[in-house]
Amino acid sequence: MRLFGRSGKLAVINLWRNKILSISTIVVMSLILFIFNVILTLNVLSGSIIKDIYKQVDMIVYLQDETDIFEVNLLVEELKTIENVIDVTYTTKEEALEDYLSLYPDQENPFSAYGLENPLPANIQITTNSPEDHEKVSEILDKTEYENLLLTTVNNNENESLIDQVLSIGTYTKNLTITLLTIFVVTSFIIILNSMYLVIFNRKKELEIMELVGAPIASIRMPFIIEGALISASAAIISLLLIGTFISSLNLPITIESLATTGKILTMAIFEIIISIGIGILSGSMAIEHHLNANS
């Protein structure tokens, strides 16, 4: 523990001593991570949009005025038995009129004003997991025992086309995220490794003296490992602050709070910090190991 504390203090001193190099390394890593986070946010956003679309009513079955409520209940119960049907809601003529009038609370009933009866039909609203499930619903609606109940069926094909577009975006951003993650790991490793090489080169005489007086190898190696970890951790934290500010500044259907409630933002933050620290530790270890082996 004493070794770790002393090494940590030396690492901070070295960072301050080489502050221009350290800041440059942190800034470059932060920008690379920020670009990665933007693409990752788009991927999460596309998934969120698809879930919201799936929750919308995507089929409405309008019923004849003379339908028997008993037969309607049988149809509703059979629709509910379909595996991927989320919700089935029956709305009477009276409820349909109330829903319509609630959209225009400042206006009187336009039908009663002209002495007309309620022309709005009763309906059944059906919500499924995905547009692929519409076929199963249609099979039940096409049964002969229900053909006298149905007036017409409205299928929200706009949702289906929108989902296809969002899915293509999601697939593209997912592949791009994997590519950028690979680029980030390789580039960050090279940047920190070169930074450590420059630091070691500037302290070459100091390190040689430490080796000559018999300083423990661990006390020589540890400060550079911690320094690499501090650089990468700082870059990760700065990039997370940047992406948080970026999301908050845009009018998007997703917020930091909504991500936090699903645990996605916490998972993303922990993942990035761990990966970044791992890269920093590996880079620092390889750089100081190369120096020690070259002088042995």
Do 276 and 166 have their domain in common?
A: yes
Write down the pLDDT at residue 83: 84
Last residue of a domain, one of 155, 180, 208: 155
Amino acid at 264: K
- Asked if residue 30 and residue 62 are part of one domain, the reply reads no
34 and 180 share a domain?
Answer: yes
Domain match, 83 and 221 both: no
Query: pLDDT by residue for the chain (296 residues), tens digit each?
Result: 677 777 778 778 878 888 888 888 888 888 888 888 887 777 676 666 666 655 554 678 888 888 788 888 888 888 888 888 888 889 888 888 888 778 777 777 766 766 677 778 888 888 887 666 777 888 888 887 887 888 777 665 555 565 566 566 666 667 777 787 788 788 888 888 888 888 878 777 777 777 777 777 777 788 888 888 888 889 889 988 888 787 777 665 555 555 555 556 677 778 888 888 888 888 888 888 877 777 66
Residues 121 and 208 in one domain: no
Q: In what order do the strands lie in the sheet with 150-155?
A: 85-91, 123-128, 59-63, 150-155
Q: CA quadruple 178, 179, 183, 189: dihedral positive or negative? A: positive
Does one domain contain both 71 and 23? no
* Residues ≥6 apart with Cβ < 8 Å to 154: 59, 60, 61, 62
**Model pLDDT, residue 202:** 77
Q: How many domains does the chain fold into?
A: 2
pTM, entire model: 0.58
| Residue 97 shares a structural domain with residue 150 | yes
Does residue 182 sit in the same domain as residue 212?
yes
Contacts of 155 (CB under 8 A, 6+ apart): 58, 59, 134
∠ Cα 201 207 213 (to 5°) = 160
138, 155, 172 - which closes a domain: 155
Identify the pLDDT of residue 113: 61
Residue ranges making up the domain that contains 147 = 57-155
